[in-house]
Structure 1
Amino acid sequence: MSFHELLTRAVRAPDRVIRFGPHPDQVIDVYLPPRVTSPAVVLLHGGFWLSRYDRSHTRPMAAALADLGHPVYVPEYRRLGQAGGGYPGTFDDVAAAVDLVLAERPGRGGIVVAGHSAGGQLALWSAARHRLPASCPWHGEPAIDAVVALAALSDLGEAFTAGLGDGAAARLVDGRAELLDLTDPVRLLPPAPATRLALVHGVRDRLVPVGMSRRFAARTGAALTEIQDAGHFALIDPLSAAWPAVTRALSPALSPALSPALSPARPRAAWQEAASVLHLAGRARQASAEVTTAH
């Protein structure tokens, strides 16, 4: 399965389009289910934050999730190669889109934020905005129930140093390593106590190494599902063998298991203290991460 196959697959148009700014890409596509039976999902697309990759390749996934009962919101955001893309515009747009979805759903509880690849970095970052300085315009405490990070660029600093995506991570922050303190999910640990984390990663991923998810799971105790025969794009393809693992990660019935670190058996305060120590020491010491292997 390839990226181009996802682009050519027939899929229904969104039921609504919400505009949240004057730029043509400050929009959110909304896919509504026949009947709401599952939590709302904000789906953040990947593509190394580059303008040549837009939300269109996630449309099959968005439509499939809507068919499963999820209201699905697919934000577009300004990207590298566009006016305002990268730092700070990409982060401005993602924060605004998530907040808009939550404001549109008052009294309906939180949401699940799912993200693939670079979108996984943005999803994890969205759930860490409470860790930003109060003076930062992105600071907030959005009611995010869970983050499902698919083949996520979860360690922006590692991507920066390794030059993943032909140096896209460095371009995202204008080559300024000091901005990683505001944008890198690893540097903003721990996540909010009420937010559960699940990671899914294909072992055969050649674009984002599975080791990145393994290290993030070790730091946080998040559940990690590794799919032995999956590459990078299988995780967003509803026709792939990897798809059941993705839907299980999104399932509200499994939500208590999404992050063992936040289960009642482990006090939240103790987990937060341990995660902070790991972060400050800069060590990827093994935490009690739950790793599931799928074929």
Structure 2
Amino acid sequence: MPAQKNKGTVCLFHGGFWKMPYDKSQLDAVAVKLVENDFAVWNIEYRQVGYLPQGYPETFIDAIDAINQLAPLSKKHPQLALRPLYIAGHSVGGHLSLWLGNHKARLGEHALAIIPYVFIGLTPVIDLVESYRDIQRQEFITAFLGCTPDENRDIYHHTSPIALLPAQGKQVIFHGEHDEVLPIGEIDDYARQARQKGTPVELIKITRGTHIDFCDPDSPSTSRFIYWLNAQSESQAV
């Protein structure tokens, strides 16, 4: 929590291929930087491959339930501002963030009870089928979902942000032009398809930005992200 003024709450989902031993500590320093900029931060952990045999469906349920937990928390801590509420995730955490922004992002009785201001992807995974086709990402995808696209196309359809377009919420994607893990061409394709289906996506490209930049609180990529958040706060205050 910030010491004084609260510009809103930022929820963070960390990356790391949806697998252990990666955890929310990846974004601890970024969380501190956000608090220094007067944002409250909810740095989220979720069950991953290694703790579970596979991530589906528990990882998605954890993502939903973690956001919904903010409502009872705000009653205990009135200084916790849920308006505006930003959902942001790095890499596979960005996949979870953008997945939550779709109207079909529910599992059984699990669905978002809070409507965020915006869903943000920081170099996000947006197409699980395309990721499966990439030999460097294939094993992580199959371990996460527990199947290949040929074995269960429905699971891929219900968990891949690009397959769920149009989205129900505002989306913003920050992506490094030199991202060595997720080619920016995949993000360009996502933004194009989203716009064609009536979902405006604000795509902010980071010159010379790389994939891991968003774990560094002082990188130009993270600074651009925080600058954008501050600009939103200023525009809402007018």
Output the TM-score relative to the length of structure 1: 0.69
**SS at the partner of 1:214?**
helix
Matched, 1:45 2:14: yes
Aligned to 1:234, which of 206, 213, 220? 213
Question: For each residue in 1:49-105, what CA deviation from the matched residue of structure 2 results, as whole angstroms up to 9, or x when unmatched?
Answer: 011211111111011001101100011111111136501111111111011124433
Say if 2:99 is the partner of 1:99: no
Written as runs of structure 1 = structure 2, the 5 A alignment for 1:61-76 is 61-76=30-45
Pair 231,101 (structure 1): closer, same or farther in 2 beyond 3 Å: same
Alignment RMSD: 2.2
| Matched residue, 1:20 | none
Tell me which residue corresponds to 1:287.
none
Deviation at 1:110, TM superposition (A): 4.7
SS of 1:225's equivalent in the other structure is: strand
State the number of aligned residues. 221
Distance 1:100 1:71 in 2: 15
**Correspondence 1:168 to 2:130:** no
> In 2, Cα distance between the equivalents of 1:98 and 1:67?
22
Q: Return the alpha-carbon distance in structure 2 between the equivalents of residues 116 and 150 of structure 1.
A: 5
Cα 1:91–1:240, aligned 2, differ >3 Å: closer, same or farther? same
Q: For residues 114-134 of structure 1, what are the alpha-carbon distances to aligned partners after superposition, in whole Å with 9 as ceiling and x for unaligned?
A: 000000000011121x3257x
> Is contact 1:131–1:189 with CA below 8 Å preserved after alignment?
no
Instruction: Call closer, same or farther: CA 1:73–1:140 in 2, change over 3 Å.
Output: closer
Task: Tell me the distance in 2 between the aligned counterparts of 1:108 and 1:178.
Answer: 34
Q: Confirm or deny that 1:218 pairs with 2:192.
A: yes
Decide whether the 8 Å contact of 2:68 with 2:112 is kept in 1: no
Counterpart Cα distance in 1 of 2:26 and 2:112: 29
State the secondary structure of the residue aligned to 2:171.
strand
Q: How does 1:1-295 map to 2 (within 5 A)?
A: 32-83=1-52, 85-105=54-74, 108-128=82-102, 130-132=103-105, 136-140=108-112, 142-175=114-147, 176-192=152-168, 195-220=169-194, 221-251=200-230, 252-253=232-233
Q: Distance in 2 between matches of 1:162 and 1:103?
A: 41
- Identity across aligned pairs (percent)? 26
CA distance in 1, matches of 2:233, 2:88: 17
AA matched with 2:184 = V
Letter in 2 for 1:160: Y
Letter aligned with residue 123 of structure 2: A
Partner of 2:78: none
Deviates more, 1:49-58 or 1:211-220: 211-220
C-alpha distance in 1 between matches for 2:125 and 2:209 = 17
* C-alpha deviation, 1:255, in angstroms: 6.9
CA separation of 1:191/1:164 partners in 2, compared to 1, >3 Å: closer, same or farther? farther
Aligned equivalents of 2:123 and 2:55: distance in 1? 20
The structure, 1 or 2, with the larger RCO (C-alpha pairs under 8 Å, 6+ apart) is 2
Asked if 2 retains the 8 angstrom alpha-carbon contact of 1:78 and 1:84, the reply is: no
Q: Following TM superposition, by how much is the alpha carbon of 1:150 offset from its aligned partner in structure 2, in angstroms?
A: 0.4
| Structure-2 residue corresponding to 1:29 | none
Q: Distance in 1 between matches of 2:104 and 2:182?
A: 25
Does the aligned pair in 1 maintain the 2:54–2:145 contact within 8 Å?
Answer: no
* TM-score (normalised: structure 2): 0.84
Rounded to whole Å, the distance in 2 between the matches of 1:43 and 1:187 is: 23
